[in-house]
Structure 1
Amino acid sequence: MPWNWELPDWPQFSYHLDQIALKERQFLLEVDTACAFLKNIGDQEYSRFVVEILSLEGLESARIEGEFLDRESLQSSIKQHFSLRASPNQETNKESRMAKLLCDVYQSFDQPLTQEMLFRWHFELFNNQSNIDCGRYRTHIEPMQIVSHRYGSSKVFFEAPSSVKVPNEMAAFINWFNSTNALLSILGKAAIAHVYFESIHPFKDGNGRIGRVLVEKVLSQGIGHPVLIAVSKVLEKQKKEYYTAIERCNRTLEIDHWIAFFADVILQAQSQSMNLLCFLIEKSKLLTALSGRLNPRQEKVLLRMFAEGLSGFQGGLSADNYIVIAKTSRATATRDLADLVHKRALVKTGELRHTRYWLNLPIRINPLL
């Protein structure tokens, strides 16, 4: 049975965009809402939001491929790229490479896609790795296969076009990418761009990560500014469904199921982005209201809680957590926590050894994402 790129109509994918018309309108409405929020925050909060979103996308996109990056190091690299104050001695090589890719995509969102741009992204992602052909399409003569090894046997999930075909395939892809803005919905083009690129699989490694930043580029070009959502965060949480959905495209050009799945992913990512934006705004409000009213221990613990992001401490902050973070006694921790509750910085739940403390933020922006 032929692969999708071997079918006579390749790369003419078959789809019905009317199935995602309501999702498209929802996406655009949420874009307008986010823009309204962003107009009412200061430069510092906006910069924090950009760093948080870019680092979240980088962390989760790498995690999908089985690579784990250090969050603080990645954020430090992104901050340095934007000339923001960063923690010293945090940057490492792999986080620095990912940061360069993310920032490049962010800053060049409105530029047409080119082969040179793709090569630059690939080079930024794999610079100094001797086992990778950095900054160029694959050239190996053996088949480019995605293989699963389980229980002593192997299964070929997909085989991409041979390396010799890649330059022509990518030239056609780039032409399609740059000439279809007016012909497709934003969500539809993002979904198609991803499956189209992954079907060609033009690089020896890094196709998933580059394919996902192409989604960000499509969305950003569609709305006219950087989209600032972390699609990879949702894809990592739904990795099994993600792989299953894209595998269904391997031998067909009919991709309605894929477009529906991917549109939902984008909407979920957009919702999480709004939650994060609200979280950062409420964080700024709370810290401003408490300015000058906290002792150094309380301030250290609150900042540590905020650093955990939307999900917070798993199971809430305990008195033992406070003692470790603040490096203080149990009696002092008890007084400090009671004072933070009195000042409405924290909310207390439970009793005795089950007592836990939570940031006092609106419930709608504090889900476990």
Structure 2
Amino acid sequence: MTWNWEQDDWPNFSYDSSALKGFEEQFLHRSGLLFGAYKHINDEEKDTLKVDLISTEALKTSEIEGEFLNRDSIQSSIRRNLGLETDNRKIPPAEQGIAEMMVDLYRNFAKPLSHQTLFAWHKMLTSGRRDLKDIGRYRTHADPMQVISGPIGKEKVHYEAPPSTSMKAEMQRFLDWFKKTGPKGDEPLPALTRAGIAHLWFVSIHPFEDGNGRIGRALAEKALSEYLGHPALIVTSQTIQTNKKVYYAMLEQSNKDNEITEWLKYFSKTILEAQDETQTQIDFLIAKARFFETFQLNERQKKAALRMFKEGPKGFKGGLSAENYITITGTSRATATRDLQDLVLKGAFTKTGEFKSTRYYLKVKKE
């Protein structure tokens, strides 16, 4: 097998820019809509959205790599790093590390990309690790850097990256390109095109012992943020995680050839889907604010509604039952029945089913 980096045209990727034009236009249009919607929520809601989106990315970019972290710990660490009010819980190293990296990406997206930036991110990601030789620097091991699957003795090699001896040269060439193709560079590229190439190129080099996928996805977000002039704040990793097999299949397909139109089309569609999901979350926050402005609720009703809103745009799984309401509010069955009937009469909740099958749902108005 001849890998992309072994071919004569590496790393001069080729692609059909006309096939990407529509995606680039949609990205800019949706970015404008997101920015406009973002201005319609108050500062507290902006902080909530910021923490939710960053923590979702931190959680999902880790899950893509098979690492399942604690959301509450990640959110607590993010709030602490952003200077927001939080609890004083002890944060495990993995959660703290990914939170620090994502906050650094959010705060410093406009700073030039350097070896030192990447080394710092790698140190954050590998916080607490004792199994790696090279932390906060490019890999140096003599063994081939391979992406493999399958049991021992029957491994399948999906990709073999350039040798460790070439890392400094490969990464310097990558950094030079990243600077040159930025919005203020000598050869600026459209947003999605640059972000898609950056991600594929970086993971093709695979410069670190571990963490290459997470850093590669962060680089794509940095490229988009640089183009927009503000943090992109979209749930790219959540969108990828939803259909992870396709993501890995596209990466594998694209590491054998330097004609990458299909990769860039896939990547562009993924970013547009991520924008849609972010728009849904902003709309949900606006709807939540209007809900509490519209309806006068007692403390029990408010507590139950807040618990339901906590589940996000997809709502309370299976609907809210009277038993759920009693558990959440600590009230009696008779009071729960009166409260729920009142919420339906006010138009705050909708009701489905009868008797033990009765379920209640938030009635939120969407834009």
Which of 194, 197, 208 aligns to 2:202? It is 197
Partner deviation per Cα, 1:108-133 (whole Å, 9 max, x = no partner): 11111100000011111112311133
Q: State which drifts further: 31-40 or 188-197.
A: 31-40
Partner deviation per Cα, 1:6-42 (whole Å, 9 max, x = no partner): 0011001110121121111111011111121222322
Corresponding letter in the other structure for 1:222? Y
Corresponding letter in the other structure for 2:24? E
Following superposition, the deviation at residue 95 of structure 1 comes to 1.6
Cα gap change, 1:301 to 1:92, in 2 (>3 Å): farther
Take 1:37 and 1:90, find their aligned partners in 2: how far apart are those partners? 35
8 Å CA contact 1:76, 1:86 repeated in 2: yes
Residue matched to 2:86? 86
Residue matched to 1:11? 11
Take 2:237 and 2:316, find their aligned partners in 1: how far apart are those partners? 22
Following superposition, the deviation at residue 101 of structure 1 comes to 0.4
Percent of aligned positions that are identical: 46
Residue matched to 2:174? 173
- Using the size of structure 2 for normalisation, the TM-score is 0.94
Give unmatched runs, 5+ long, in structure 1: 365-369
1:103-122 → structure 2 map (5 Å cutoff):
103-122=103-122
The answer to whether structure 1 residue 187 and structure 2 residue 187 are counterparts is no
Following superposition, the deviation at residue 192 of structure 1 comes to 0.8
8 Å CA contact 1:27, 1:267 repeated in 2: yes
Corresponding letter in the other structure for 1:340? L
8 Å CA contact 2:93, 2:127 repeated in 1: no
Following superposition, the deviation at residue 80 of structure 1 comes to 1.1
Take 1:155 and 1:110, find their aligned partners in 2: how far apart are those partners? 40
SS in 1 for 2:105: helix
Residue matched to 1:101? 101
Following superposition, the deviation at residue 282 of structure 1 comes to 1.4
Which of 308, 312, 315 aligns to 1:312? It is 315
The answer to whether structure 1 residue 303 and structure 2 residue 306 are counterparts is yes
Matched length: 362
Q: State which drifts further: 244-253 or 91-100.
A: 91-100
Partner deviation per Cα, 1:139-168 (whole Å, 9 max, x = no partner): 111111000115972100000011111111
Take 1:131 and 1:154, find their aligned partners in 2: how far apart are those partners? 22
Residue matched to 2:235? 230
Take 1:189 and 1:280, find their aligned partners in 2: how far apart are those partners? 31
8 Å CA contact 1:127, 1:134 repeated in 2: no
Take 1:167 and 1:360, find their aligned partners in 2: how far apart are those partners? 56
Following superposition, the deviation at residue 48 of structure 1 comes to 1.2
Which of 354, 357, 360 aligns to 1:357? It is 360
Take 2:90 and 2:307, find their aligned partners in 1: how far apart are those partners? 17
8 Å CA contact 1:349, 1:355 repeated in 2: yes
> Which contiguous aligned blocks of 4+ residues in structure 1 show a shift greater than 4 angstroms?
none
Take 2:108 and 2:362, find their aligned partners in 1: how far apart are those partners? 37
The answer to whether structure 1 residue 220 and structure 2 residue 221 are counterparts is no
The answer to whether structure 1 residue 63 and structure 2 residue 50 are counterparts is no
Cα gap change, 1:343 to 1:152, in 2 (>3 Å): farther
Cα gap change, 1:363 to 1:39, in 2 (>3 Å): closer
The answer to whether structure 1 residue 41 and structure 2 residue 30 are counterparts is no
Take 1:48 and 1:174, find their aligned partners in 2: how far apart are those partners? 34
CA RMSD of aligned residues (A): 1.7
8 Å CA contact 1:17, 1:185 repeated in 2: no
Partner deviation per Cα, 1:169-196 (whole Å, 9 max, x = no partner): 0111111111113432111111111110
Following superposition, the deviation at residue 318 of structure 1 comes to 2.0
Cα gap change, 1:6 to 1:363, in 2 (>3 Å): same
Following superposition, the deviation at residue 211 of structure 1 comes to 0.6
SS in 1 for 2:148: strand
Residue matched to 1:157? 158
Residue matched to 1:146? 147
Following superposition, the deviation at residue 317 of structure 1 comes to 1.7
Corresponding letter in the other structure for 1:313? F
- Using the size of structure 1 for normalisation, the TM-score is 0.94
SS in 1 for 2:226: helix
